[in-house]
Amino acid sequence: MKYLKFLFSPLVMGVLFILFAVAMAVATFLENDFGSAAAYSMVYNTRWFELILLLLASNLVGQLVILRLFRRDKLTIALFHLSFILMITGAGITRYFGWEGSIHIREGEEQQQCFSTEKYIGYSLKDNNGTIVTSHSEKYSLTSVSADNFKKTIKINNREYELVLAKIIPNASESVSDSPDGEPVVSLLVTKNMVSTETLTLKMGDIKTSNGISFGFASPHPADVTVSVDSGKFFISSGFNLGVMSMMTQALTSTAPGKPVELKKMQVLTLDDIRIVTQQMSSAGVIKAVAVKPEEQTTGQNAFIFHLVSGNKSETVYLWDREGEKVASAACELDGNRVEISYGSRLTTLPFSIKLNDFILERYPGSTSPSGYKSDVILLDKAENVEKPFMIFMNNILKYKGYRFYQSSFDRDEKGTILSVNHDMSGMMVTYTGYALLFLFIFLSLINKNALFHNINDGYWSCEIRKRVQPILV
């Protein structure tokens, strides 16, 4: 009983509040220096931070009971304790049952799919028919200063394999290396107006897009630019006119649509305002990840290196997490089965859809700096026969069926919007109730004649702490 009284004492409450304030201060500095993901990973989402809040809530509940604060003359103090209990409870409901994400909509388009803010990493094992035999997915935290471990055991044809995330290379780039076990690979540098630069590394069967132009390497699907290989030589062709210029002679020639052009080093290919430069070619090559110094180039992609190991048999899988991609995936073949690895946000389908009529970007007079932006949308709920026009901008939130939509960001071409999505009606109501009780406590403390606010005098300062501290300060 003695220990319980100490646990539920005001002294312990004060210590817990101090620890809570220190933790919040540390999280603020972490967010400022390393981003919000680091603050969540190292403070907000940790078990010790949860323990502080749990002990604080338990302490407040214990004081309500032990000190019998529900008496009429102690009602204001009871409201103070109860308000913090409800705020902590609401935070717990939000943490474990709330959902946050984002939705991207282009002008004139209708969208009902959104992606979670939290990232997930996992795998799926498929047989020859494409049927999923087994799968697993879990939350994964990756920040600029830390990363979670990932190691799982997969059974393939009664044989156990260890899937291990061996390394993460931030700001990575693809590099082509010759290998006897490799396949034809080509690396192209693609620029637009000499401003945006992107490196495309293609192996046979790949098709990728850069600056709105699709590039395919012997792909079964049609592409704007096609790369092929014949007798160890690489060729490129397009359905449009291609300009070919030698860096040595600066001579420029034009080729007819569909005519193959041999890829060479020190050669620049032009397609309208797109320039293509061959970086690497290999008839038998493998793609590896290499780190690039941020001050030299920002690649906008991270490389996840996985090892799938069983005895002396192993396979290395590179998964590329690129900016703008919600989900990244990679795969390999083992024992006649396909192992697919994924990392990214989880897809959620809303019970209604949102259509973007117009995105409006406002600028300061005489400047190109944005002063504000808003989205003219229509909420469409066909099941309820609801069609609700709405203008979303800062502090003007679209609310429907427990979902809240905030203006978050927009596309560079100003033809699309990105909205933050929150679904946490229960947690929000409990937390707001706690806020209301806290304000009620402040109001009643001002008008209650029995409250400490009205009865405090200099006698409250005649304590041992004051007697000891005063000489020290003097």
Mean pLDDT of the chain: 87
What's the pLDDT score for residue 455?
66
Measured between alpha carbons, how far is 135 from 165 in angstroms, rounded to an integer? 16
Is the model more confident about 78 or about 467? Answer: 78
* Residues 331/302, Cβ–Cβ less than 8 Å: no
Distances from the Cα of 328 to the Cα of 242, 324, 331, 387, 414, angstroms: 32, 10, 11, 35, 25
What's the pLDDT score for residue 164?
92
Find tokens 């969208």 and name the residue.
111
Amino acid residing at 409: S
Q: What mean pLDDT is predicted for residues 421-449?
A: 88
| pLDDT tens profile 290-314 | 898 888 888 888 999 999 888 777 8
Measured between alpha carbons, how far is 326 from 328 in angstroms, rounded to an integer? 7
* Residues 123/341, Cβ–Cβ less than 8 Å: yes
pLDDT at 251 over 50: yes
End-to-end CA gap in the chain: 41
What DSSP designation does 156 have? E
What's the pLDDT score for residue 239?
86
pLDDT at 463 over 80: no
User: Which of 57, 66, 80 has the alpha carbon at shortest distance from 3?
Assistant: 66
Bridge partner residues of 423 (DSSP): 99, 403
Choice among 104-108, 135-139, 210-214, 380-384 with the minimum mean pLDDT: 210-214
Beta strands 225-230 and 213-217, pairing class: parallel
Buried b (16+ CB within 10 A) or exposed e, 187-204: bbbbbbeeeebbbbbbbe
The CA-based angle 321-325-330, given to 5 degrees, is 50
| pLDDT tens profile 224-247 | 899 998 888 899 999 888 888 888
* Residues 340/316, Cβ–Cβ less than 8 Å: no
| pLDDT tens profile 18-42 | 999 999 999 999 988 888 888 888 9
pLDDT at 473 over 50: no
324 φ/ψ sector (left φ>0, alpha ψ -120 to 50, else beta): left
